[in-house]
């Protein structure tokens, strides 16, 4: 069995770690590293019987993830100090939000950039305050800069000159040119405050954003990790609130995200063994392509199924912008090499 | 991948895969004397690959990949496949290893205590350590020295020493030719030839050593010793560490303790003999 399949089975709890031969771990670890799931797996198997060298590697991963989490939360605190005194409300998104809210998917989760959401009307002021506090532009290319400002759902990325950490300031969760337009103001208005004092999206919106990020805005690179987030979020929210799936459906309808949310739920069922309520538990033939794409990784951590990856890459652009604009964009990018 | 091998250096078990046989054969010859555990899962994966299928035969060039990649790294011609493998192994350790604090430094040990030599490329730290390793010292490594956060001990990483340019002739005059790898002429780093550490150094590669001395060698100029204040040592070693920031508080504690407990000096030396004499002199004072 391939390493990436075994990885999914181990995360889902369908397979016991002690059933693996020592050398099976190479493929599992290789795929998990490539999918940014190694420390997640290390947490999942914290109490499992493992070969000594795997146990040691996993302990390293858990320790490193704890440091990375503290650093990510510190970065959120730095952003808060830069923009909150000006009365700009902001909501943490993705990995930093999961860590700030103490959610189970944050255990071992790699956190890259700091992602925050601010209201459209506040975006100019937020940018100014961040630059005053030491963040700088990364993109120097005028086309890219203008593209971000006119068409994207976030400012061009900023990087802090002393700490070398990136911040993405979003004003909505999908590109402005995307076929779907979620209600960002409703997301900000209904945000909840986590224990540490940071605002995060309410449970249903958090799951909506996760599904949109996984299926509506990208070519599914790193999709296994995003799907693991979705699986953990929906499982835990449903366990805490029996009405969660209904709220999620209503909220997804409000944002125009019912299709990606339902597909994410089915994929979480098919790969991670999620239990879905009646009404969600359908079969959809096209899901098979998504499963194949999510598992396109060999035992050396290399991507496989080149044509399928390309197809999903084209699909991501197709969703993101209308055809004429896409043609113009690709033409400009191609001429610039 | 088509061809692969496994190599254990210090605490790291590598899995190295390649689209070509030659780099794997060269690695197997160089690391034949190292302990081999084919059943142990790998800690780090290195991939040597052709960017396009036809480039396996047509002007073959070796791209370096693995668990961690450097996006703009230039490929090397297949004749330098061994260098590509070495760079790939270093890269995985530098970017991926978290169990210890990594210092980009060579080290030698005697009686369970270590001399750590830190410096830029060209400072002579590798040559000095290799030369000392042919005498009364155990070579711990020429590239990385690992500091265990809990104990403060140094651990070795005695990979095959990467001799460069003038150091090749200097070592070739002293060691059994069977311990030298093939000459890689005209690489981006100049001429390179690998030296297999002595069998006793390989056998002792898991033995920790207490840091006794930190030296910052500088090749060239009159022989001189310059005591170094802890603040400067600390800053220099943060720059010499590839994972200091990633280790967070544990890295800070390990480094602070190392600097507090270990005397440090800058040394300048006109030739290897003078450099070795300075190390012996400072060692005698440090362990007295």
Which 3-state string (H, E, C) describes A314-333? HHHHHHHCCHHHHHHHHHHH
Percent of chain A scored above 70 by pLDDT? 99
pLDDT of residue B153: 98
Domain holding A156, by residue range, is 3-336
Residues B163 and B245 in one domain: yes
A53 interaction partners in chain B (CB closer than 8 Å): 13, 40-41, 43
Domain identity same for B256 and B173: yes
Helix (H) or strand (E) holding A234: helix A223-240
Same domain as B77, residue B177: no
Å between A289 CA and nearest CA of chain B: 26
Whole-number Å distance between alpha carbons of A91 and A171: 10
Instruction: Provide mean pLDDT across the span B169-177.
Output: 95
Tell which residue, B70, B73, B4, B69, has the closest CA to residue B42: B4
Q: How many structural domains compose chain B?
A: 2
The domain boundary, picked from B79, B96, B113, lies at: B96
For residue B51, give the nearest of B78, B79, B26 by alpha carbon. Answer: B78
Residues 6+ apart with CB under 8 A from A307: none
Count of beta carbons in the 10 Å neighbourhood of residue A21: 9
Q: How far away is chain B from the Cα of A82, in angstroms, using its nearest Cα?
A: 23
Q: Which residue has the higher pLDDT, B116 or A316?
A: B116
Tell me which residue has tokens 């759902």: A153
Answer yes or no: do B145 and B276 share one domain. yes
Kindly state the percentage of chain B with pLDDT values over 70: 100
Q: Is pLDDT of A183 > 80?
A: yes
**Domain shared by B82 and B208, yes or no:** no
B127 plus B162 within the same structural domain:
yes
Inspect the interface and report whether the beta carbons of B246 and A51 lie closer than 8 Å.
no
* Minimal-distance CA residue of chain A relative to B4: A300
Instruction: Evaluate whether B253 touches B147 at the Cβ level (below 8 Å).
Output: no
B246, A23: Cβ pair inside 8 Å?
no
Q: Per-residue pLDDT for A108 more than 90?
A: yes
pLDDT digits (tens, 9 = 90+) for A241-272: 999 999 999 999 999 999 999 999 999 999 99
Q: Residues A266, A267, A271, A275: what is their CA dihedral angle, to the nearest 10 degrees?
A: -30
**Rounded distance, CA A75 to CA B252, Å?**
19
CATH code, domain with B180 = 3.40.50
> Do B115 and B26 share a structural domain?
no
CA dihedral for A86, A156, A162, B237, sign (positive or negative): positive
Burial class (CB in 10 A: 0-12, 13-18, 19+), B111: exposed
Cα(A237)–Cα(A64) distance, integer angstroms: 27
Q: Is the pLDDT of residue B71 over 80?
A: yes
Q: Which H or E element spans position B25?
A: helix B21-30
Do B110 and B83 sit in the same domain of this protein?
Answer: no
Residues A230 and B115: their CA atoms lie apart, in Å, by: 51
Indicate the pTM of the whole model.
0.93
Nearest to A53 among B43, B47, B66 (CB): B43
CA distance A281 to A181: 26
For residue B45, give its domain range. 3-96
Distance between terminal CA atoms of chain B?
53
Which of B50, B81, B96 finishes a domain? B96
Residues B91, B106, single domain; the answer is: no
Q: CA dist A299 to A52, A317, B42, B205, Å?
A: 21, 29, 12, 29
Q: Note whether A33 contacts B: Cβ–Cβ < 8 A.
A: yes
Alpha-carbon distance A194 to A200, whole Å? 7
Q: CB of A207 within 8 A of CB of A257?
A: no
Number of domains in chain A: 1
Closest by alpha carbon to B117, among B216, B201, B211, B209? B216
Task: Express each pLDDT in B123-150 by its tens digit.
Answer: 889 999 999 999 999 999 999 999 999 9
- Chain B: residue whose CA lies nearest to A50: B41
Q: In this structure, are B66 and B157 located in the same domain?
A: no
B252-275: average pLDDT: 96
Q: Decide which of B96, B115, B136 is a domain's last residue.
A: B96
Interchain pair A60, B47: CB under 8 A: no
pLDDT of residue A337: 65
């Amino acid at each position: 069995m391939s390493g990436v399949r075994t990885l999914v089975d181990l995360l889902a709890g369908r397979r016991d770690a002690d059933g693996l031969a020592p050398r099976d771990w190479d493929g599992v670890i290789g795929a998990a590293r490539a999918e940014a799931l190694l420390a997640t797996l290390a947490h999942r198997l914290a109490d499992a019987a493992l070969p000594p060298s795997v146990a040691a590697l996993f302990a390293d991963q858990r320790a490193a993830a704890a440091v990375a989490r503290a650093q990510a939360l510190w970065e959120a605190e730095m952003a808060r100090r830069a923009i909150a005194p000006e009365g700009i409300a902001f909501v943490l998104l993705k990995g930093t939000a999961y860590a700030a809210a103490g959610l189970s998917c944050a255990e071992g989760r790699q956190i890259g950039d700091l992602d925050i959401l601010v209201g459209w009307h506040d975006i100019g002021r937020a940018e100014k305050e961040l630059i005053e506090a030491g963040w700088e532009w990364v993109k120097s290319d005028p086309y890219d800069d203008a593209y971000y400002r006119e068409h994207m759902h976030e400012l061009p990325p900023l990087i802090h000159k002393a700490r070398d950490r990136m911040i993405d300031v979003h004003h909505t969760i999908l590109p402005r040119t995307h076929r779907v337009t979620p209600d960002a103001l409703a997301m900000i208005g209904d945000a909840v405050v986590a224990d540490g004092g940071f605002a995060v999206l309410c449970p249903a919106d958090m799951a909506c954003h996760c599904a949109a990020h996984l299926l509506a805005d990208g070519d599914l690179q790193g999709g296994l990790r995003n799907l693991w987030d979705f699986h953990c979020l929906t499982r835990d929210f449903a366990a805490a609130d029996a009405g969660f799936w209904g709220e999620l459906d209503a909220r997804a309808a409000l944002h125009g995200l019912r299709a990606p949310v339902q597909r994410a739920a089915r994929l979480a069922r098919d790969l991670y063994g999620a239990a879905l309520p009646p009404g969600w538990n359908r079969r959809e033939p096209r899901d098979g392509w998504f499963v194949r794409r999510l598992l396109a990784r060999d035992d050396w951590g290399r991507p496989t199924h080149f044509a399928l990856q390309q197809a999903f890459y084209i699909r991501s652009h197709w969703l993101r912008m209308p055809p004429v604009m896409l043609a113009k964009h690709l033409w400009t990018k191609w001429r610039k090499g | 991948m088509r061809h692969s091998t496994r190599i254990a250096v210090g605490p790291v078990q590598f899995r190295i895969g390649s689209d070509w046989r030659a780099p794997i054969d060269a690695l197997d010859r160089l690391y034949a004397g190292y302990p081999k555990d084919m059943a142990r899962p790998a800690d780090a994966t290195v991939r040597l690959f052709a960017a396009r299928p036809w480039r396996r035969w047509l002007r073959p060039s070796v791209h370096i990949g693995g668990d961690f990649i450097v996006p703009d790294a230039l490929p090397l011609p297949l004749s330098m496949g061994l260098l590509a493998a070495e760079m790939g192994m270093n890269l995985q350790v530098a970017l991926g290893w978290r169990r210890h604090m990594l210092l980009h430094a060579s080290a030698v040990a005697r009686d369970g205590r270590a001399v750590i030599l830190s410096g830029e490329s060209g400072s002579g730290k590798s040559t000095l350590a290799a030369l000392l390793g042919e005498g009364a010292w155990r070579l711990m490594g020429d590239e990385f020295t690992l500091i265990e956060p809990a104990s403060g001990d140094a651990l070795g990483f005695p990979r095959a020493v990467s001799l460069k340019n003038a150091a090749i002739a200097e070592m070739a005059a002293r060691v059994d030719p069977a311990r030298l790898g093939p000459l890689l002429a005209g690489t981006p780093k100049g001429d390179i030839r690998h030296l297999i550490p002595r069998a006793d150094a390989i056998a002792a590669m898991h033995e920790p050593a207490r840091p006794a001395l930190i030296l910052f060698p500088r090749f060239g100029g009159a022989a001189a010793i310059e005591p170094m204040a802890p603040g400067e040592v600390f800053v220099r070693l943060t720059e010499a560490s590839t994972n200091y920031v990633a280790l967070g508080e544990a890295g800070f504690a390990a480094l602070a303790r190392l600097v507090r407990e270990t005397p440090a000096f800058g040394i300048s030396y006109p030739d290897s003999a003078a450099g070795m004499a300075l190390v012996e002199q400072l060692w005698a004072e440090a362990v007295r």
